[in-house]
Structure 1
Amino acid sequence: MDTATVARFEASRNRLAALAYRLLGSAADAEDTVQDAFLRWQDADREQVAVPEAWLTKVVTNLALDRLRAAKTRHERAVGAWLPEPLLDGDPMLGPADTVEQRESVTLAVLVMMERLSPVERAVYVLREAFSYGHAEIAGILDITEAASQQHLHRARRRISLSRNSFEVDAESARRIVEEFVQAAASGRTERLVALLTEDASGVSDGAGLRTGGKLIRYGSPERVAGAVRAGFTPTPSKRRLAGGTPSIHAAVVNRCPALLFAVGGRVVGVTVLEVRDGKVSGVCGIADGRRLGRLDREWQGAEADSPIIEAW
């Protein structure tokens, strides 16, 4: 390919990666999907491609759906050990964030709820909510009718039921929320944490370093969430061994939500993401599996260092 043809693809790369990430919930799989699309672009009869952006969108969407339908992927997501790969604020793979719908479509909560959808429902939801495609365009991308696109969107919205919150998190507000959460967690008083949680608060952890049989650990009430957080924030020699040292705790924005980053030797070893609704924490998601933290760690190491909330936990 000539330079101009490569440049045309590269101009769409970030948007395509953001689309693939929302569809797959994995930055690594999204990168592979976009690279596969580049190979298709390389082999295509480009003189017959009237609108490259539309052509590339269709290719990436359908490549991502093929991954979702693959037997290996279905097995990995069925065993109960799947969580999305978290991304640090500023990562281009997070994509557009101009509307409430666009911001919510990339939160960990929505990415998890999208597992309830069929691959086609997921694609329609992402294309419509996150990228504002019309139903005629979506029908062309997925080779379905406009009526089918509308039906898929209706079912997807019904299954992804959220109490919408227009609250937009920036670095300053994230730090304020994280500081309050850390202070309550470190106090050793469960009631202080419960006061920060909504009545329907829930929690989930990948249990990295624990003997969980690969299963996620779930907490279904404010009291259980608070108890798990308080226990998790109690430092012990075994926890420090698992972390590889004594972590510092930093505030960050991850997938459009406030988050705590745990770092040892300048490397992120864990992240706790806080979903916020009506000024309270409605969800807590803990991820410490290094396989999910690679991209976030690279982005964090390349960002300007902030002052930790706790120097040594």
Structure 2
Amino acid sequence: MTVAPHDFLADEFEGHRPHLKAVAYRMLGSLAEAEDAVQEAWLRLARSDAGAIGNLGGWLTTVVGRVCLDMLRARKGRGEEPLEAHLPDPVVSREDRADPEQEVLLADSVGLALQVVLESLAPAERLAFVLHDMFGLPFEEIAPIVDRTPATAKKLASRARLRVRGAAPASDSDQAGQRRVVDAFQAAARDGDFDALLAILDPDVVLRADGGELTGGLRITRGAAAVSRQAMAFRRAAVVGHRVLVNGIAGLVSTMEGKPVSVMSFTVAEGRIVAIDLLADPERLSRLHLTDLPG
């Protein structure tokens, strides 16, 4: 049976979809908007002369980058509250079950902490950094997207790199080691062991907690003592913590009577927790489809 050209093109596009979603997620920090950007790329491909495209993957990456840049600029044009006032969407997965699409989505990620820093970059800086440093696109291909010369695009990425390097702590690569530290944190918080919490937390630890509109958006707590006091909320017996990966690193989903109440991501460096990102916005949690959690 002969495959129709449209069906062949759709199959080719589906092969690139995980990569394109990864690009869009890094650019936008929103899973829903990333899906929208990828869908827009498909619509543009369907309207184009696909036979004239020499490198489909590169063409689609460029299109998604341009769509995401337009979306970021539109946010500013509408005067929306910047996304850095909220946590980016976390990508939650089970520790014991690999999801190929999520593996592509999170390849080379250093966790939710990096997504937080990306939200603070200007749109053109973010695009240049994401496409070059994370996905290897040459500046000659990035330059037309941002209406700059390749040299200026390189400078945009360099400025972004400096900001990211100083603001996004790198997590220990040993996932088992991460989990041991997070388990110790969970046990100390549950037992109300303040001294044990202080020993697990870096003195300059940062807790970013986003409870949504009802709590005023993102709230930041700094320092081991202050974060330890916040962690005492785990002493509530009704809250159950489930081991998960959040953006590829050790995390927890907390439930109460079977309903998710928070997602927590931990950045562990040199055996201590240096950052905790906590999403407790009920509306956003409901969109994450947090089902099939381990016990």
TM-score by length of 1: 0.81
Percent pairwise identity: 33
> Aligned-pair distance for 1:116?
2.2
Question: Which one of the candidate residues 139, 158, 163 is aligned to 1:159?
Answer: 163
Question: Which one of the candidate residues 271, 282, 290 is aligned to 2:274?
Answer: 282
The answer to whether 1:233 aligns with 2:234 is yes
The answer to whether 1:95 aligns with 2:92 is no
RMSD of the TM alignment (CA)? 2.6
> Aligned-pair distance for 1:263?
2.9
Structure 1 equivalent of residue 253 of structure 2: 261
Q: 1:156 to 1:94 in 2, by over 3 A?
A: farther
Write out aligned runs for 1:75-154 (5 A).
Answer: 75-78=79-82, 81-89=85-93, 90=98, 92-93=101-102, 95=104, 102-104=108-110, 107-154=111-158
Q: 1:37 to 1:163 in 2, by over 3 A?
A: closer
In 2, the alpha carbon distance for the partners of 1:71 and 1:270 equals 26
Q: Which amino acid in 1 is paired with 2:234? A: F
Aligned residues: 285
Answer with 13-22 or 114-123: which moved more. Answer: 114-123
CA displacement 1:37-78 (0-9 Å, x = unmatched): 111111112122222111111111111111111147864443
| 3-state DSSP of counterpart to 1:95 | helix
The answer to whether 1:180 aligns with 2:164 is no
CA displacement 1:230-252 (0-9 Å, x = unmatched): 1x21328xxxxxxxxx4421111
CA displacement 1:115-156 (0-9 Å, x = unmatched): 221111001111122212232333355443221122111110
In 1, the alpha carbon distance for the partners of 2:23 and 2:143 equals 16
Q: Which amino acid in 1 is paired with 2:40? A: D
**Which structure 2 residue ranges, 5 or more long, are not aligned?**
none
In 1, the alpha carbon distance for the partners of 2:168 and 2:46 equals 44
The answer to whether 1:52 aligns with 2:53 is no
- Whether the aligned pair in 2 keeps the contact of 1:85 and 1:293 (CA below 8 Å) is no
The answer to whether 1:12 aligns with 2:16 is yes
CA displacement 1:66-98 (0-9 Å, x = unmatched): 111114786444386411000024552563666
In 2, the alpha carbon distance for the partners of 1:166 and 1:188 equals 26
Answer with 9-18 or 265-274: which moved more. Answer: 265-274
| 3-state DSSP of counterpart to 1:2 | helix
Q: 1:287 to 1:59 in 2, by over 3 A?
A: same
Answer with 40-49 or 117-126: which moved more. Answer: 40-49
Q: 1:133 to 1:20 in 2, by over 3 A?
A: same
In 1, the alpha carbon distance for the partners of 2:168 and 2:86 equals 24
> Aligned-pair distance for 1:8?
0.9
Structure 2 equivalent of residue 218 of structure 1: 220
| 3-state DSSP of counterpart to 1:132 | coil
> Aligned-pair distance for 1:112?
1.3
Question: Which one of the candidate residues 68, 71, 74 is aligned to 1:67?
Answer: 71
Q: 1:211 to 1:15 in 2, by over 3 A?
A: closer
Q: 1:75 to 1:235 in 2, by over 3 A?
A: farther
In 1, the alpha carbon distance for the partners of 2:83 and 2:172 equals 34
Q: Which amino acid in 2 is paired with 1:121? A: E
CA displacement 1:179-202 (0-9 Å, x = unmatched): 111111122132221111112211
